[in-house]
Amino acid sequence: MSSRRTSLRSPVRAARAPLALGLAALLLAACGGSDSEGSDAAAGSGTDGGGSGGTEQVTFLNILPLASLSFAPELVATECGYFEDQGLEVSFETTQGSAQAIQTVLAGSALITRVGDLETQLAVAERDAPLVAVGQPTKQGTIRFISAESDPLETAEDLEGRLMGTPSEGGTSQILLELVAESAGIPKEDVQTQVVGLAPGVFDLVSSGRIGGYIVSLDTAVQLEQQQPEAVVFAPNDAIASGGQVYVTSQDQSEDPAKQEQLRRYLAAIDETLQFIIEDEANDFAETFECLEPYDIPALETPEVARESLSTYIESWTAAGEEELGAVVPDQWDAVYQEMVDGGFIEDGLEPSEWYTNEFLPGGN
């Protein structure tokens, strides 16, 4: 492990707003998912050296392959010592999407994962999942809609009558697409989709007119912008509030004192890492790239793509102001809930403020 980089500035942290508490006790209906020995150890009981001052082993569930700038906070925290400083040894397990990650966390086989805000609310509201959001590093979504200049998708209204390519049926991308359409008064039942994957090469289907656009990650969108002059990029957050990502754990783990300490250490390490990357922007992310060297991240092959992608991630992390770095912001959380209600995904009259807490963040109450 490489040594920790020197932080370029002192942390600026305003007092966190007091937050709501956990969920009402709900019955977990199905808790499958992986149950490996490594996961069991990482569930929080694994301790090298005891709970006081020893190294705690925890598992983070990544819903996509780890080699992506989306996971830059976790990778930098690992390689440049921020987890180590907090007495954590973090292992990573890739799941088959957010549904499996949520089930595995609920089963207690892993401490924490990072999934979409809308998926989290859907799991709690519609499936009675005893899930708790404990932080939100990504305030704005990092999914993008790609179209061609010959038939540009520049507003939510432009989705009407358009066939959109998606990486899979259902899931975050589909819900996000339908919420954007609903924001323009287009019923989600009228949204036309086709599974096409999300590689840059799919743009050929767009430029040839076979599909009217497709959904990609932020890294891919930046790559397309630089390599395909005719590509048009639309950010869903131009139309809706949903699409951010939150750290989640189970209610049981959030109420366990030993796990609470692990959550505090984990989020403290991420908090320092986010500030390190933010400050390293002035240095063209030179030290961040050093931390990421052990990983085969495609975006790093083109430094200008990597720099622009990281700058966009920073815009998302700081969208609610630096004092809210890493925190779930009540107004935004409520806005996501209302969009899910308006879109017919969640029933009205619930209490979304009970589905998250910021108490484990640095300075949290």
Answer whether 109's CB lies under 8 Å from 33's CB: yes
Calculate the CA 168 to chain-centre distance: 18
Which pLDDT value is given to residue 267? 98
Rg of the chain's alpha carbons, rounded to an integer?
20
Answer whether 193's CB lies under 8 Å from 164's CB: yes
Q: What is the four-CA torsion angle of 287, 292, 296, 297, rounded to 10 degrees?
A: -80
Which pLDDT value is given to residue 31? 30
Q: What token pair was written down for 357? A: 């807490």
The residues with which 61 forms a beta bridge, in sequence order, are 93, 113
Q: What are phi and psi of 141, to 5 degrees?
A: -65, 150
DSSP letters spanning 222-254: HHHHHH-TTEEEE-GGGT-S---EEEEEEHHHH
Which pLDDT value is given to residue 53? 57
Rounded to a whole number, what is the largest CA-CA distance in the chain?
62
Which pLDDT value is given to residue 219? 85
Domain with CATH 3.40.190.10 in the chain: 56-140+244-354, 143-238
The full 3-state SS of 115-160, as one line of letters, equals: EEHHHHHHHHHHHCCCEEEEEEEECCCCEEEEEECCECCCCHHHHC
Task: Classify residue 145 by burial, with Cβ atoms within 10 Å: 0-12, 13-18, 19+.
Answer: buried
Which pLDDT value is given to residue 240? 96
Which pLDDT value is given to residue 171? 75
pTM of the model: 0.82
Which pLDDT value is given to residue 365? 61
Which pLDDT value is given to residue 202? 87
Cα distance between residue 331 and residue 131, in whole Å: 20
Q: Mean pLDDT for each 10-residue chunk of the chain (365 residues)?
A: 42 33 30 31 36 79 90 97 97 91 96 95 95 96 94 97 87 89 93 84 91 91 90 96 96 97 98 98 98 93 93 96 96 96 94 97 83
Which pLDDT value is given to residue 201? 80
User: What CATH number has the domain spanning 143-238?
Assistant: 3.40.190.10
Q: CB atoms < 10 A from the CB of 194, how many? A: 14
The third-level CATH classification (topology) of the domain covering 56-140+244-354 is D-Maltodextrin-Binding Protein; domain 2 (3.40.190)
